[in-house]
Amino acid sequence: MPPSITHHTSHTMGNGASSSNSGCNINGGASITHQAGHAMGNTMANTTGEDDAGISNHHSGIVEASLTDPVADDDYCFPTGPSSRRSSVVSVSHDDLDDSDAGTSTTGITTMSNSVNLARFSIIDSTLREGEQMATANFNTAQKLMIAQALDDFGVDYIELTSPAASPQSRADCEAICKLGLKAKILCHIRCNMDDARIAVSTGVDGINMCIGTSPQLMAHSHGKDLKYIAAKAKEVVEYVRSEGIEIRFSGEDSFRSDFSEILKLYSLVDSLGADRVGIADTVGGATPMEVFDKIEALRKVVSCDIETHFHNDTGCAIANAFMAVEAGATHIDTTVLGIGERNGITPLGGLIACLLPRYPESILNRYKLEKLGALEELVAGIVSVEIPFNRFAMPSQKCD
């Protein structure tokens, strides 16, 4: 029987809150405002929970594919609207890339030009995973089913669920949501190990979001493994999940405090193995918008797969960081309804929509049913006992004075 685990969380910060608002005018004077998350608590510990026989913390030659020799697929095509444009692959020197951040050397890495159409992205809503880490978010099965249905009615592209390895109830809830027949793809969040992956596959999910701490802090104090171990386990899980025919994302928890030159090598390896996405996580909420842009832009040059981002709101930058990630080439943004989650929460769904709508009105209006956002927010707010911020997102159809 697999070991029970706590929900995935980060490891620092206390409670806090921030809020901001902005106005804009869309096609005839509709007012758009955005919201920020509430103060959150409920910090938990994260662990890999796995001691593999025969694998120590220090390895040599454990991964056949070298971390320093990433493979780029020159036949990969990025979406660019109605037609597709082939990405070009070029080898560059250190001076060809923006290395404004310390520790982001990309010497010798094969790079891919950024031709992603920024208007075509996907929302991964994590209200039923990240949101569960809010102190008052004790969702029962019926509530989870209602929230999942409401998210699907709004039109989110993916719904992320708590790891089914967390508890028997989490597994049962995951299976129940998978049976709803929603349009949104169902993902579950797991640790980087085979036990979790096998359980996740058995539930019927459409995809798996796998993560493991990659910062010096988490490697030392969360799981005690090194990057060679992480690469070996990632390779094992990616290959298994791909063999089962479902999506797989690999993410380094606490990516922004990780050695980014090593992140680029690790993600390039995972990309070459066929991962659908790599994820960048601002686990402690300290990233700035320009830092986000620089790092996503650097990552976009070395991977052909999609890029997912996850931004905590400790400094009030979660919406701005998500926007800059999209501008730099990220394709998938994690959100929660009202931004609920651990500590200050993450990028709020309504706030992201408010930020992207002026920039990409056709894409947003065609893909998401904005008139359903208010009811979705009221549903979640009632369940977790919070007030909806006064500066909530206003529908474009609303009459404004």
| Res. 249 pLDDT band, cuts 50 70 90 | very high
Average pLDDT, whole number, for the chain?
78
Structure tokens at 390: 């006064």
| Res. 120 pLDDT band, cuts 50 70 90 | low
Give the model confidence (pLDDT) of 208-238 as tens digits: 999 999 999 999 999 999 999 999 999 999 9
Q: What pLDDT was estimated at residue 117?
A: 55
The segment with the largest mean pLDDT, out of 111-120, 134-143, 214-223, is 134-143
Give the model confidence (pLDDT) of 370-391 as tens digits: 999 999 999 999 999 999 988 8
**What is the model's pTM?**
0.72
pLDDT at residue 156 is higher than 80: yes
How large is the average pLDDT for residues 247-253?
A: 96
pLDDT at residue 65 is higher than 80: no
Structure tokens at 175: 């299976």
CA atoms 311, 313, 319, 321: torsion sign: negative
Q: What is the 3-state secondary structure (H, E, C) of the chain?
A: CCCCCCCCCCCCCCCCCCCCCCCCEECCCEECCCCCCCCCCCCCCCCCCCCCCCCCCCCCCCCCCCCCCCCCCCCCEEEECCEEEECCEEECCHHHCCCCCCCCCCCCCEEECCCCCCCCCEEEECCCCCHHHCCCCCCCHHHHHHHHHHHHHHCCCEEEECCCCCCHHHHHHHHHHHCCCCCCEEEEEEECCHHHHHHHHHCCCCEEEEEEECCHHHHHHHHCCCHHHHHHHHHHHHHHHHHCCCEEEEEEECHHHCCHHHHHHHHHHHHHCCCCEEEEEECCCCCCHHHHHHHHHHHHCCCCCEEEEEEECCCCCHHHHHHHHHHHCCCEEEEEHHHCCCCCCECEHHHHHHHHCCCCHHHHHHHCCHHHHHHHHHHHHHHHCCCCCCCCCCCCCCCCC
How large is the average pLDDT for residues 69-95?
A: 35
- Burial of residue 37 (number of CB atoms within 10 Å: 0-12, 13-18, 19+): buried
Q: What pLDDT was estimated at residue 323?
A: 96
Q: What pLDDT was estimated at residue 336?
A: 98
Q: What pLDDT was estimated at residue 83?
A: 32
How large is the average pLDDT for residues 291-319?
A: 97
Tell how far CA 83 is from the center of its chain. 27
| Res. 397 pLDDT band, cuts 50 70 90 | low
Q: What pLDDT was estimated at residue 392?
A: 82
Cβ(373)–Cβ(353) under 8 Å? yes
